[in-house]
Amino acid sequence: MLTNNFQMLLCSCPSGCAMNNDTKNTMRSKVKTLFNYWLNVTKPSDYFVVSLPGESNFDFENHCAEQRKDFTRQTQFMYENKRSVYNRFKDINEVEKTEDGGIQAHYIYSDIPKVSKFSVLPTFAWYDFCGIATTDRYNCLDSQPVNKNSVVVVTFNDKPRRKDTLHYKVGLTPDKNNRPDVEKALKQDLKVFGLKHHLFTHRYKSKKNGINMIMLAFTNSKSLYNVYSKTKSRFTNIEQVKEIVMKKKKKDSRVTHNISKLIALQIACGVDDEVLLKNYKLTKHQLAGYKRTVTHKRLQGKLFEYFLTDPACREAMDGISEKVEFVKL
């Protein structure tokens, strides 16, 4: 938990969405790319990263940690307001903290604060909402100044069932889709208080035939805007996203949700780190997260039951019976 005197004005916002589908993973990659640009162009020496990791296994947050430059300090504030999700991840937070204090990571059970509450330092904030632009959510991007060289990325549901719950500033598009015009509202509001450079807007579906979403990014850094705009044509429409996803799917066999327990089982059975890193194309941070899961479940005395709930793990344990006793410990 966060234990400093950093003042926060909380708003009622949902936890970040789970990211277990290809299109969402591609959108997350887009935010990672923007973060890389921001870090390399603005060169902050002391800065905040604000996020809603949800059930993403801290993928974006670990990426940010890995990108930190030497002799700089990165402080991460990760928020979760759903108790069941928070309890599941609070003891296995993957974000590594460096010995020299270069990275500080705080996983907090709370609604996410308004972005202006981080104005003391340059900030890269991703408000990855799953719901529509209600008053509480929209007000998290309140019209208050933020520190120079900051970036705000926000994700909303783009096709609400009830349009009467939208923030009063969010009108509807005049076209046949009649969707919330969040882009117009944010461009007007954020421009007044410095975040006048619109980096991108992208619409996508969270899953095949799933929820319509919209992702927008803004900055008050003219230099970042000028550099990033040169590559702005990437990810411009959903067909391009689908093409990128399919290419990545063919080339990349990264770990999926379905084999997470198999990886944990191999860790419990003493499989060498290098073998796991190579076979599953994991990062060291991801592997550390799986190790913490095993340690946590073992301390709870629930490791054996954890594996038994997965058919693939049960089948695997049949073939390594000599190591099952190790798992039970």
How many residues does this entry show for the chain? 329
Per-residue DSSP letters for 129-174?
A: -SS--BHHHHHTT-SS---SS-EEEEEEESS-S-GGGB-TT--B-S
In 3D space, the residue among 5, 30, 16, 49 whose CA is nearest the CA of residue 202 turns out to be 30
Report how far residue 91's alpha carbon sits from residue 301's, in angstroms, rounded to the nearest whole number: 15
- Model confidence at 266, pLDDT cuts 50, 70, 90, reads confident
Angle between helices 260-268 and 284-300 (to 10 degrees): 70
Tokens describing residue 220: 């008050």
* Class of residue 51 by CB neighbours under 10 A (exposed 0-12, middle 13-18, buried 19+): buried
- Model confidence at 288, pLDDT cuts 50, 70, 90, reads confident
Tens of pLDDT, residue by residue over 175-215, are 666 677 788 888 888 877 778 999 999 888 876 667 888 89
Tens of pLDDT, residue by residue over 126-161, are 999 988 888 889 888 876 789 999 999 999 988 777
| Residue 169 pLDDT exceeds 80 | no
Higher pLDDT, 313 or 282: 282
pLDDT at 19 (0 to 100): 47
Phi, psi of 42 (to 5 degrees): -85, -25
Per-residue DSSP letters for 6-40?
A: ----B---PPPPP--SHHHHHHHHHHHHHHHHHHH
Give the end-to-end CA distance of the chain in Å, rounded to a whole number: 30
Q: Are 83 and 273 in contact (CB under 8 A)?
A: no
Report how far residue 71's alpha carbon sits from residue 171's, in angstroms, rounded to the nearest whole number: 45
Domain ranges of the chain: 22-248, 257-328
CATH topology of domain 22-248: Rossmann fold (3.40.50)
- Model confidence at 233, pLDDT cuts 50, 70, 90, reads low
Q: What percent of the chain has pLDDT over 70?
A: 73
